Amino acid sequence: DWTPDSFIETTISSLKEKIGNDKVVLGLSGGVDSSVAAVLLHNAIGKNLHCIFVDNGLLRKDEYTQVLDSYQHMGLNVRGIDAKDRFLSQLAGVKDPEQKRKIIGRVFIEVFDDAAHEVQDVSWLGQGTIYPDVIESVSVNGPSATIKSHHNVGGLPDFMKLKVVEPLNTLFKDEVRKVGKALGIDDVILGRHPFPGPGLAIRILGDITAEKVAILQEADAIYIHNLKASGWYDKVWQAGAIFLPVQSVGVMGDERTYENVICLRAVGSVDGMTADWSHLPYELLAKISNDIINNVKGINRVVYDISSKPPATIEWE
Ligand code: XMP
């Protein structure tokens, strides 16, 4: 019978046997999968696991410092790399969603590769790949693959020439959470909503500027704060704010404003393949809207997305 404890025990001993005294590099994303994979590997090989956490400038507000802190508290051997400017400069003027994804994927690989080269004699790449990722990458030539190119799997560049170790590749998401819980990982990490690799870049329609990122981070932080405070964060599968580069007229005091729109998205789902928009209470939506419009300069209108998937996707890009 599968239990988190038996999984942990057998996985740690097989990781020890497989890896021995070799070194492993692993990219942490702040998400559940990479965090659980890292802690398993850390329990098996300790300081020979070298974790790399990249700030691409497209994370949620304060997420980079908070997540890096919690990794350090967990005792992980982790190096944070501030690559904000490198990502944003490569993205300047780019509007096409797939182009943005490609650039972010490429820059991530470059930054990660530079960091990995600084670990002497590394021979393994650790990854938080879970079972559904394995299945999805097998069907990569299917019709849905061209809709959005997910780049979490098989993203290993040839030149890195590392062997791959994926301790979670037989598990489903709920099992990963159970394993994480049994490993003592904080609920703040385990209960996190899924967050796309390209981050806020695909939640800013069209071209990305540092100013738009800052506005979206503020609005998103207010949204997520209110979801947590009201108990709704754990009831929805994924939520986030989207920056719409559409200007509309408003009034602030006696002044006429002409500012952008924030769209709120919250969905219920099992695996992200289909999703229903969440029926958040009107009172909560009203509070979030007021808080955003009163506190985020550059936004004078908030809308709620009532589209389900299919035909809409969860992300807007
Ligand atoms: P969609 O928008 O396709 O999203 O309905 C389904 C789930 O996938 C996430 N998503 C991504 N994750 N890289 C990722 O790592 C991507 O390019 C990407 N695009 C979408 C999305 O957040 C949702 O959980």
For 183-207, write each residue's pLDDT tens digit: 999 998 999 999 999 999 999 999 9
Residues 251 and 185 in one domain: no
Residues 106 and 229 in one domain: no
Stretch 79-95: mean pLDDT, rounded?
Answer: 98
Nearest-CA residue for atom 17 of ligand 1:
150
Assess whether the C-beta atom of 194 lies below 6 angstroms from ligand 1: yes
pLDDT at 137: 67
Using the structure block, give the residue that is written with the tokens 């190119």: 149
pLDDT at 52: 96
ipTM tops 0.85 = yes
Assess whether the C-beta atom of 203 lies below 6 angstroms from ligand 1: no
Looking at residue 127, the DSSP 8-state letter turns out to be -
Sign of the CA dihedral running 42, 46, 49, 53: positive
User: Each residue of 224-259: pLDDT tens digit?
Assistant: 999 999 999 999 999 999 999 999 999 988 999 999
Among candidate residues 286, 266, 252, the one with its CA nearest the CA of residue 224: 266
Looking at residue 192, the DSSP 8-state letter turns out to be P
pLDDT at 106: 93
Helix (H) or strand (E) holding 240: strand 238-252
Nearest-CA residue for atom 21 of ligand 1:
196
Stretch 20-29: mean pLDDT, rounded?
Answer: 95
Stretch 131-152: mean pLDDT, rounded?
Answer: 54
Specify the number of domains making up the chain.
Answer: 2
Residues 224 and 275 in one domain: yes
Residues 161 and 243 in one domain: no
Nearest-CA residue for atom 10 of ligand 1:
196
Domain presence at residue 197:
no
**Of 158, 190, 222, the domain-final residue:** 190
Looking at residue 158, the DSSP 8-state letter turns out to be G
Assess whether the C-beta atom of 197 lies below 6 angstroms from ligand 1: yes
Best residue among 29, 91, 150, 152 to mutate for probing ligand 1's pocket (most ligand atoms within 8 Å of CB) is 150
Stretch 133-140: mean pLDDT, rounded?
Answer: 67
Looking at residue 123, the DSSP 8-state letter turns out to be E
Mean pLDDT of the chain: 92
Residues 185 and 300 in one domain: no
Tell whether 250 is in a known binding site: no
Supply the angle between the helices 32-45 and 4-19 in degrees, to the nearest 10: 60
Tell whether 33 is in a known binding site: yes
> How far apart, in whole angstroms, are the C-alpha atoms of residue 40 and residue 21?
16
> How far apart, in whole angstroms, are the C-alpha atoms of residue 91 and residue 85?
10
Which two tokens mark 122?
């590394």
CATH number of the domain encompassing residue 253: 3.30.300.10
User: Each residue of 263-307: pLDDT tens digit?
Assistant: 999 999 998 999 999 999 999 999 999 999 999 999 999 999 999
pLDDT at 141: 40
Atom of ligand 1 nearest to the CA of 313: 5
Which pLDDT band, with edges at 50, 70 and 90, does 157 fall under? Answer: low
Alpha-carbon dihedral angle through residues 95, 100, 106, 111, given to the nearest 10 degrees: 100
Domain coverage including residue 44: 4-190
Ligand 1 center to 315 CA (angstroms): 6
- Report pTM: 0.90
Residues 184 and 219 in one domain: no
Residues 139 and 270 in one domain: no
Domain presence at residue 113:
yes
CATH number of the domain encompassing residue 108: 3.40.50.620
pLDDT at 135: 82
Tell whether 35 is in a known binding site: yes
Best residue among 29, 100, 315 to mutate for probing ligand 1's pocket (most ligand atoms within 8 Å of CB) is 315
Pairing status of strand 163-165 against strand 299-304: unpaired
Residues 176 and 217 in one domain: no
Nearest-CA residue for atom 20 of ligand 1:
196
Ligand 1 center to 196 CA (angstroms): 5
